[in-house]
Amino acid sequence: MQIYANLTIRQKHIIWAWAFLALPVLFYGIIRFYPTGNAFLISFQDWNLLGKRTWTGWDNYIKLWNDPVFWKVFKNTFAYLLIGTPISLFLSFLIAYHLDKLRFMHGFLRMLYFLPFMTSAVAMAWVWRWFYQGVPIGLFNNMLASIGIPQIEFLNSTTNALPAVLAPAVWAGLGFQVIIFMAGLRAIPTSYYEAAKIDGVGWFTILTQITIPLLRPTIVFIVVFSSIGFLRIFDHVFNMTTNNPGGPLNATKPLVLMIYDTAFNGFDMGYASAQTVVLFLILLVVSLIQLRLLRSD
């Protein structure tokens, strides 16, 4: 205690700071950094969990490159991104733009749109899975049947399954994006709108010349946030296709499901790790593009 009392304030601060950080630093080292390194290492090994770990160099990556399933999965993963992101961006902006102009029961309407964000993906995947069943079970086909439209194959069709799995993912994320867009809209100084009004500018010009340019940071954030979400899609796909993982002919299989299958059904840890490294690189590129876009402001 005597020693502590003789320290300068600065030295005491250093001791406190490291005392506070000791456990967290240990945590980040053991639970984040060590496993990250380990994932890279295992991706260069052949290991089925029981047998010996052997070094195989780039074999797992070469196998991946030559695996037709991987390219199918790669295409699906980007299909989720390229269909899901524009649709959710457009819908959430449309809703936020108009909701921002309303005062009557504003909070109630906002709640309706936000509610799906509070649900669990697994629960909602099962609800939508039921919706998609054929007559006489599924809600959608029952509704179609009642107005005399022939039934549609959703989850069992190679073309419709991916959009069908994507729909609840877009639906669940919409509320969050609406809220973020509304915050972005509120942050635009009203003086801009007033000036435009005095100049007699039409709503479309205001939208394209003032609102959208000033919302750029918000738009970039939402695009990146939802892109990363769609690239990592798993819960919905897994639960909507448990009877046929990855859908008919892998029509809905995303990268994370392939990783899960390879690692925990096939126990090919090295091959699965190589897939996770690829996922990491894809996400890294998306994040770097975001940084680039934000910098140029």
Partner 1 sequence: MTATDLRPTAAVLDQSAASKPKNMGQILRWVLLFLGGIMMIMPIAYMISTSLKWPHEVYNVNLIPEEPTIENYTYVLEDGRFYLWFMNSIIIAVITTISNLLFDSLVGYTLCKFKFPGRQIVFIAILSTLMIPTEMLVIPWYLMSQSFGWLDSYWGIMFPGLMTAFGTFLMKQFFESVPDDFLEAARIDGLNELQIWWIVAMPLVKPALAALAIFVFLGNWTAFLWPLIVTNSVEMYTIPVGLSGFGDEADVAWELIMTGAAISTIPTLIVFLIFQRFIIRGVVMAGLKG
How far is Cα 168 from Cα 151, in angstroms, rounded to an integer? 20
Output the smallest distance, CB 17 to partner 1, in A: 4
The count of chain residues that interact with partner 1, using the rule CB under 8 A, is: 101
How far is Cα 244 from Cα 249, in angstroms, rounded to an integer? 9
Q: Please identify which residue in the block is written with the tokens 């990491």.
A: 280
Output the smallest distance, CB 159 to partner 1, in A: 23
Chain residues 127-166 in contact with partner 1, contact rule CB under 8 A? 127-131, 133, 136-137, 139, 142-143, 146
Binding mask 181-200 for partner 1 (x = CB under 8 A): --x-xxx--x--xx--x---
How far is Cα 186 from Cα 99, in angstroms, rounded to an integer? 12
Rule CB under 8 A: say whether 2 interacts with partner 1: no
Chain residues 73-112 in contact with partner 1, contact rule CB under 8 A? 95, 98-105, 107, 109-112
Rule CB under 8 A: say whether 277 interacts with partner 1: yes
CA dihedral sign, ordered 155, 160, 161, 167: negative
Instruction: Kindly tell me which residue out of 46, 77, 238, 250 binds partner 1, with binding defined by CB under 8 A.
Output: 238
Q: What is the largest CA-CA distance in the chain?
A: 88
How far is Cα 257 from Cα 246, in angstroms, rounded to an integer? 7
Output the smallest distance, CB 20 to partner 1, in A: 5
Chain residues 205-234 in contact with partner 1, contact rule CB under 8 A? 221, 225, 232, 234
Give the chain's radius of gyration (CA, Å).
25
Chain residues 7-26 in contact with partner 1, contact rule CB under 8 A? 10, 12-14, 16-18, 20-21, 23-25
Tokens of 150: 């022939």
